[in-house]
Amino acid sequence: MATKKITQNKYKAQGKKTRKLKTFFGGKALWGKFFLILFVGAMSFGCIYIHDAVLQSPLFDVKTIMIDGLDRVTRDELLARIGLDKPSNIFELQPDLLEKKLNTHPWIRMATVKRQLLSTISIKIEEQEPLAIVTIENLADIVINAQGAPFKEYEPAKDDLKALPVISGVDLSLSNSTYLFEGDLFNAVMEILRIKGFGQIKTILGDENTGILINILNTYPDTNFTKNLNDTESENKTIIPVKLGFDGFEEKLARARQIQRYIETNYPGKTISAIDLFSLEKVFVTTEDAAQHTIEKGV
């Protein structure tokens, strides 16, 4: 009887060899990961070292600061506000943060900060343009800009704004969590302030019932509504009240000039001391005799 020959299981032997190869390559991958971690760590350490070296190196200190647009705000005040009054590294500075600090200054409307080259900071400033002073009962006086927005409390000792007209009779309103002046009466005040030719307006009084009354600074005996004065003409200054109502201000200014020319031509000895232009259909003019200082009223 023939015996059955037992052959070797080659499949199982091949399986053992495969497992050995997997173990070998698995260990190689582990070493690769280890070296990758070392490489990343070394790079991170190198970046930190370079970062600290750059920030501490005097080569990158700010050496030039260019500032454009300053008038009321002084250079020293501006530099102290953003910390550039002492040595600073140009790469430590954050232009956006510096702009925010500058924009909190009441006299700065907009600020732009940029880095240039390796040691230069460029700053552009747009200051507020003061238009008038607004007085409000039981509150401090407020300065408004050319857009009619309040931007700071009036400080007579610091601001030097005596030549600005003083507005009264308008109130602050709260809109979108911001206090501002608005409404038909205030819009009428703003329209008057934008018109050239009324002369040097000292005060503007707003009234919900009668409209706008302005007081113009003028010289005696002249009654020129377009004349601007200086300090050398202070001896014969007079205040001329002019009632303007609510609208039609440019047309009323033209009528005031027409009346002024008529008085000068036909009544050279008289001057205008008050004028009511509430309605152009019936204008009231108060004149004064220059020699005898007597007052006459007429239509």
**CA pair distance 275, 298, nearest whole angstrom:** 10
264 falls in which pLDDT band (50, 70, 90)?
confident
For 61, residues 6+ apart whose C-beta sits below 8 A from its C-beta are 87, 88, 89, 90, 119
Residue 146 placed within a domain: yes
Residue 46 placed within a domain: no
Average pLDDT score over residue span 246-256: 92
Answer yes or no: do 121 and 159 share one domain.
no
Residue 195 placed within a domain: yes
Whole-number pLDDT of residue 200: 86
More confident residue, 182 or 125: 125
CA nearest to 194, candidates 128, 260, 147, 229: 147
CATH of the domain at 221: 3.40.50
Answer yes or no: do 159 and 123 share one domain.
no
Written as six digits, the tokens of 249 are 């201000």
List, for residues 148-180, the tens digit of each pLDDT value.
Answer: 999 999 999 989 898 999 999 998 887 777 888
Residue 174 placed within a domain: yes
For 183, residues 6+ apart whose C-beta sits below 8 A from its C-beta are 170, 173
Whole-number pLDDT of residue 30: 64
Residue 22 has pLDDT above 60, yes or no: no
More confident residue, 72 or 5: 72
Residue 277 placed within a domain: yes
In angstroms, the Cα distances linking 61 to 91, 210, 256 are 9, 63, 63
Q: Which amino acid does the sequence have at 170?
A: V
Q: Percent of the chain beyond pLDDT 90?
A: 46
Average pLDDT score over residue span 131-153: 93
Whole-number pLDDT of residue 221: 46
Answer yes or no: do 253 and 291 share one domain.
yes
Average pLDDT score over residue span 219-243: 57
In angstroms, the Cα distances linking 233 to 112, 156, 203, 204, 289 are 42, 23, 19, 22, 21
More confident residue, 35 or 259: 259
List, for residues 35-56, the tens digit of each pLDDT value.
Answer: 667 666 656 655 554 444 445 5
Answer yes or no: do 151 and 183 share one domain.
yes
Average pLDDT score over residue span 94-100: 94
More confident residue, 7 or 53: 7
More confident residue, 107 or 238: 107
- The residue segments making up the domain with residue 88 are 59-127
Stretch among 5-14, 38-47, 195-204 having the lowest mean pLDDT = 5-14
CATH of the domain at 91: 3.10.20.310
Answer yes or no: do 167 and 117 share one domain.
no
Whole-number pLDDT of residue 201: 92
Average pLDDT score over residue span 114-132: 92
Residue 166 placed within a domain: yes
Residue 64 has pLDDT above 60, yes or no: yes
Residue 283 placed within a domain: yes
